[in-house]
Amino acid sequence: MTNGQVSIEKNTYYDVTFEDLTHDGAGVAKIDGYPIFVPNALPDERAKIKVIKVKKGYGFGKLIEIYEKGPYRVDAPCPVYKECGGCQLQHMSYEGQMVAKQKQVQEVLTRIGKLKNIKVHPVLGMEKPWRYRNKAQVPVADREGGLAAGFYQQRSHEIIDMEACMIQQEKNDEVVQTVKRICEKYGVKAYDEQNHRGTLRHIMARYGLVTGEIMVVLITRTKDLPNKNKIIDEITEQIVGVKSIAQNINPKKTNVIFGDETNVLWGEEYIYDNIGEIKFAISARSFYQVNPEQTKVLYDKALEYASLTGKETVIDAYCGIGTITLFLAQNAKQVYGVEIVPEAIEDAKRNAILNGIDNVEFAVGEAEVVIPNWKKDGIHADVIVVDPPRKGCDDALLQTIIEMKPKRVVYVSCNPATLARDLRILEDGGFETVEVQPVDMFPHTVHVECVAQLILKEGN
Ligand code: SAH
């Protein structure tokens, strides 16, 4: 590949200095202006690399030797960090991760969103950024003398046994190990992907951070689970706090974890957890935020940006199980939530009743279809909150927001690139982005969540 004066060849070695980090955590170095992405390298590091792929405008390399470490380089604390791939930034200090995530958001909003001088606050991170996940879904395999439960080795289907995951609640690690031993004891065979035989596919553990309640789900290929009652007895004896044991049956040849049928084997259908003042019922298949501590931080910020006085009508688009909706309802006159998954809306309605909240209404459907219909029916929102999936908001929804002219829009986003694209559309439609607050929901991974506040510009 020729780039101006230089020609960069595959399989050649270069000494480079890294300047930046990509959104997926690779280091970026430039060889005479030609960017090379190198996994595991960090900004301000000087290193020898080998070029392994050359494309038109950029290439990929492999880190061979670090001559000078960057200021944020640390030894990854997890012993299986490299094989697992669940985390991508453990080789960077948490302080460094916060700096990098803030910079990434700022850069993307400026470049893609063309938002000049946009105020992006420092990332709200965790005081103790470990052991935060409240849900473990662990694949199981047969090994000589028992079962392995752990993770798929990167880019393979090999299951590596693992006793502890450093971003998982300790309680979940304990539950998985206990259930694994009990299933071993009663001769349960693990699912064998190649031959589509065996029984136990995954063990799932869920932990209510505030309530301490535990749910165990055994995901099996067949409905038949040998020694089912003995397994249940031992789980209830050995796991303190267990409130629900369920079985999900997935007979298909698939990478998808869950099948369609779920049966409660013992105890309750739900466990409970709280985020702030709101209580949630969580079933085996319910979506629930995996880092509840930071979810509270995120929702408090969304609530602050909504600036509610109790008189407003609010729409919560992409509402899931109504988490944000119920949070907003505490300070609004009326909140309308819309979500595409019918089961999530059932959960949302149940959670509203559970909390005695009656100023909410939920609808199943596409936000971009339901909200224009609400508008036709004469519903006017003072504030609209959106929390879309990674692909961002549908354009039809953004156009409806522009036509509806709410006083404020609060945009909760898990993807800075689509946030930037959508903020540009809303800006062109008469809104102004006041500020953006990144929140670290997933320490040691490359993900970053943001909340943005927009106000309707005067004269619109
Ligand atoms: N606000 C919720 C969930 C956000 S995740 C919470 O914080 O818990 C995004 C949600 O958008 C998912 O529940 C997904 O099912 C839903 N979704 C995806 N596309 C949609 C669409 N076109 N219309 C409405 N909801 C949609």
Residues 379, 313 contacting (CB under 8 angstroms) = yes
Cα 333 from chain centroid?
A: 30
| Same domain assignment for residues 264 and 145 | yes
User: Which residue out of 335, 340, 368, 410 has the highest number of ligand 1 atoms within 8 Å of its CB and is therefore the one to mutate?
Assistant: 340
Answer yes or no: is pLDDT of 3 > 70. Answer: no
Average pLDDT, the chain: 96
Structure token digits, residue 100: 């990098």
Annotated binding site: 289, 318, 339, 387
* Residue 51: domain span: 2-68
Report d(CA 328, CA 306) in Å as an integer. Answer: 8
| Same domain assignment for residues 379 and 271 | no
What pLDDT score was predicted for residue 6?
A: 58
Answer yes or no: is pLDDT of 2 > 80. Answer: no
| Same domain assignment for residues 204 and 168 | yes
**Residue 108 within any structural domain of the chain:** yes
Note the pLDDT tens digit of each residue in 423-437: 999 999 999 999 999
In this prediction, residues 68-97 reach a mean pLDDT of 96
In this prediction, residues 395-411 reach a mean pLDDT of 98
Q: Is 324 in the pocket of ligand 1 (CB under 6 A)?
A: yes
Beta partners for 62?
50
What pLDDT score was predicted for residue 355?
A: 98
Q: Is 341 in the pocket of ligand 1 (CB under 6 A)?
A: yes
What pLDDT score was predicted for residue 427?
A: 98
Q: Is 427 in the pocket of ligand 1 (CB under 6 A)?
A: no
Answer yes or no: is pLDDT of 294 > 90. Answer: yes
Give the nearest ligand 1 atom to 289 CA.
8
The pLDDT-based confidence of 79 (bands split at 50, 70, 90) is very high
Annotated binding site for S-adenosyl-L-methionine: 289, 318, 339, 387
What pLDDT score was predicted for residue 26?
A: 96
Give the nearest ligand 1 atom to 344 CA.
13
Give the nearest ligand 1 atom to 389 CA.
9
Residue with tokens 């798929």: 152
Percent of the chain with pLDDT over 90: 94
Contacts of 5 (CB under 8 A, 6+ apart): 32
**Residue 282 within any structural domain of the chain:** no
What pLDDT score was predicted for residue 155?
A: 84
CATH of residue 24 = 2.40.50.140
**Residue 64 within any structural domain of the chain:** yes
Give me ligand 1 centre to Cα 367, in Å: 9
Give me ligand 1 centre to Cα 388, in Å: 5
Q: Domain ends where: 223, 249, 275? A: 275
| Same domain assignment for residues 114 and 208 | no
CATH of residue 352 = 3.40.50.150
Answer yes or no: is pLDDT of 1 > 90. Answer: no
Please tell me the least confidently modeled range out of 92-96, 159-163, 308-312: 159-163
**Residue 7 within any structural domain of the chain:** yes
Q: Is 449 in the pocket of ligand 1 (CB under 6 A)?
A: no
Coil/strand/helix, residue 317: strand
What pLDDT score was predicted for residue 231?
A: 98
Answer yes or no: is pLDDT of 264 > 60. Answer: yes
| Same domain assignment for residues 214 and 315 | no
In this prediction, residues 38-46 reach a mean pLDDT of 97
Q: Is 366 in the pocket of ligand 1 (CB under 6 A)?
A: yes
Indicate the pairing of strand 59-68 with strand 34-38: parallel
Residues 94, 129 contacting (CB under 8 angstroms) = yes
Nearest residue by C-alpha to atom 13 in ligand 1: 320
* Residue in 272, 217, 279 with CA at minimum distance from that of residue 245: 217
In this prediction, residues 70-98 reach a mean pLDDT of 95
Give the nearest ligand 1 atom to 366 CA.
23
What pLDDT score was predicted for residue 434?
A: 98
* Residue in 385, 286, 399, 287 with CA at minimum distance from that of residue 338: 385
Give me ligand 1 centre to Cα 404, in Å: 21
| Same domain assignment for residues 448 and 394 | yes
Q: Is 316 in the pocket of ligand 1 (CB under 6 A)?
A: no
Give me ligand 1 centre to Cα 345, in Å: 10
**Residue 157 within any structural domain of the chain:** yes
Note the pLDDT tens digit of each residue in 371-381: 999 999 999 99
Q: Is 339 in the pocket of ligand 1 (CB under 6 A)?
A: yes
Q: Is 326 in the pocket of ligand 1 (CB under 6 A)?
A: no
Percent of the chain with pLDDT over 70: 99
Answer yes or no: is pLDDT of 171 > 70. Answer: yes
Q: Is 323 in the pocket of ligand 1 (CB under 6 A)?
A: yes
Structure token digits, residue 418: 């689509």
CATH of residue 251 = 2.40.50.1070
**Residue 79 within any structural domain of the chain:** no
Q: Which residues are designated catalytic?
A: 414
Q: Is 340 in the pocket of ligand 1 (CB under 6 A)?
A: yes
* Sign of the dihedral defined by the CA atoms of residues 344, 295, 117, 431, in that order: positive
**Residue 286 within any structural domain of the chain:** no
Nearest residue by C-alpha to atom 12 in ligand 1: 320
The pLDDT-based confidence of 99 (bands split at 50, 70, 90) is very high
| Same domain assignment for residues 154 and 259 | yes
What pLDDT score was predicted for residue 458?
A: 87
Give the nearest ligand 1 atom to 338 CA.
24
| Same domain assignment for residues 378 and 437 | yes
Nearest residue by C-alpha to atom 1 in ligand 1: 319
Give me ligand 1 centre to Cα 370, in Å: 13
Please tell me the least confidently modeled range out of 4-8, 61-65, 243-247: 4-8
In this prediction, residues 276-295 reach a mean pLDDT of 94
| Same domain assignment for residues 190 and 108 | no
Helix or strand holding residue 113 (H, E) = none
The pLDDT-based confidence of 189 (bands split at 50, 70, 90) is very high
Residues 118, 436 contacting (CB under 8 angstroms) = yes
| Same domain assignment for residues 211 and 307 | no
In this prediction, residues 297-301 reach a mean pLDDT of 97
DSSP code, position 168: B
CA 151 → CA 73, 148, 218, 260, 323, distances in Å?
Answer: 25, 9, 16, 23, 30
| Same domain assignment for residues 186 and 295 | no
Q: Domain ends where: 275, 304, 339? A: 275
Beta partners for 141?
148
Q: Domain ends where: 207, 242, 275? A: 275
* Residue in 445, 439, 429, 443 with CA at minimum distance from that of residue 454: 429
| Same domain assignment for residues 271 and 336 | no
Note the pLDDT tens digit of each residue in 210-239: 999 999 999 999 999 999 999 999 999 999
Answer yes or no: is pLDDT of 7 > 90. Answer: no
**Residue 94 within any structural domain of the chain:** no
Nearest residue by C-alpha to atom 16 in ligand 1: 318
Domain count, the chain: 3
User: Which residue out of 301, 303, 318 has the highest number of ligand 1 atoms within 8 Å of its CB and is therefore the one to mutate?
Assistant: 318
Residues 409, 434 contacting (CB under 8 angstroms) = no
Give me ligand 1 centre to Cα 3, in Å: 44
